[in-house]
Amino acid sequence: MDTDSMYFSIAGSQTEGYKQGLKYVIKDQLFYDLHNKERLPWDNCTVAKEKRLMNLTTESQGENIICLAPKCYSLYNGNEQNEDIVSLVNRMKGVSEKKTNLTNDDYIKCLNDGGVALSLAKKKRIIELSEKKKLSFTKISQKQGIPYETVRQVLLHRNNLLEPKKRGPKPKVAVRAFRRISRYLKKTSKSIPQNINKSAKKRLRRRPKLTERHIAKRIQFAEEFLLNDQSKKTEIIFSDEKKFRFDGPDGWAYYWYSLDEKDDNSIYSKDYGKYKGVMVLATINSAGILSHDRMQGSITAVVQRELLLSQVFPSIHTELGEQFKYQMDSASCHKNKETLKDLESYGFSFLDWPALSPDLNPVENMWSILVRKVYEDGVNYENEEDLWAGIQGAGRKITKKDILLLNNSFQKRFTELLKRGGKYVQ
């Protein structure tokens, strides 16, 4: 019952004061009708309201109610066990009922799940702990830090695992209508209005535009490499850095994938500008992933040098000795002259890699494989330690065969680049 704006006229003694309680209850309907307006005068009041005893009425009524908090409730008829539910009223303080499309199932799910939304990956983990490790509900709850009731509900509905439905308001423009508008605008050469653009699917960042100088350098590098057949003379180590975020790939996609791979829906990070995540430096060659190491703090030439000498160089020495060439892109932290001289004194020999050439680097394709495994089943991470553990686990799943296919495509990329006149390789 909502009583914050309700008035009661139940006491009838003027001498006893407010402490009279229920001693002098008004029972005379005629007396009540005569003195009704004295306690609360109304303007433009209807006859029906004046004749209503005690001025009380029922706004809505039903068989069941779920009240999660003040001003937050769901009223419904039926039994959720039989899935025969008729939703009557859904209220939430400060939330538009029409825009959010709240249903009775949302309130029931909130109670059953203990208020915790789980990704598909976490649900699979709970099922795995129950079926393979034979842990009890209580043990799983303690181990995963998830409410007991949430664990029970996941295991109860293990045969109907689905990705959680997206919340929020419905799109202003339906998908079919948006396609029709887009086709019309293309034909008429008109720009898409801003409000229409917002309902479109987010696109990946475009590749940098190649100037004539970039194209000439790319062609020169490809021709020299193929003529000298450098890949047969010495082993090449490919390297690259990438930042992994807590809730998915960052969307700044400079990596390519094989055309025969199954195309899947990308999951984009939503924490832009907060700089949360883990930066990783990876090196690969024909032997597989040589190293993938975490980079701490700001990425400077000093940080790069320390990581190469302490982590990357030992891994390369173990596999190849000192007969190799190391590939780096044209980032400022890679091109510091003092750092390069220092690294060369330790046995590093570098490829003269052309600028704006991520399409020639097989590590970019490796990131594509690693990202799919790190964020498999829509998993999110709570902190940097969990994310780094997920990256390490995903890296161990990538086989030597996967990397060998990428590494062997290196010369084919150069051939394709020359065919395309120095432009990006698809």
Domain assignment of residue 109, yes or no: yes
Query: Residue 209: left if φ>0, alpha if ψ -120 to 50, beta else—which one?
Result: beta
How much is the pLDDT for 202? 44
Q: Please report, for the domain that includes residue 107, its CATH number.
A: 1.10.10
Residue 40 sits in the same domain as residue 145? no
Residue 379 sits in the same domain as residue 306? yes
Domain assignment of residue 205, yes or no: no
pLDDT above 90 coverage of the chain, percent: 15
- Find the domain containing 19 and state its range: 1-57
How much is the pLDDT for 109? 65
Residue 28 sits in the same domain as residue 72? no
Residue 302 sits in the same domain as residue 401? yes
Residue 282 sits in the same domain as residue 398? yes
Residue 221 sits in the same domain as residue 369? yes
Residue 221 sits in the same domain as residue 189? no
- Other beta carbons less than 10 A from residue 122's beta carbon: 19
Domain assignment of residue 136, yes or no: yes
Residue 31 sits in the same domain as residue 80? no
Residue ranges of the chain whose pLDDT lies below 50:
1, 3-5, 192, 195-204, 251-260, 263-266, 272-273
> Looking at the DSSP assignment, which residues form a beta bridge with residue 74?
66, 90
| Whole-number Å distance between alpha carbons of 139 and 148 | 9
Residue 81 sits in the same domain as residue 26? no
Domain assignment of residue 206, yes or no: no
| Whole-number Å distance between alpha carbons of 184 and 335 | 49
Domain assignment of residue 425, yes or no: no
Cβ-count burial of 73 within 10 angstroms (0-12 exposed, 13-18 middle, 19+ buried)? middle
Report the number of distinct structural domains present in the chain. Answer: 4
Domain assignment of residue 156, yes or no: yes
pTM for the complete prediction?
0.58
Q: What is the pLDDT of residues 389-403, one digit of tens each?
A: 999 999 999 999 889
How much is the pLDDT for 111? 63
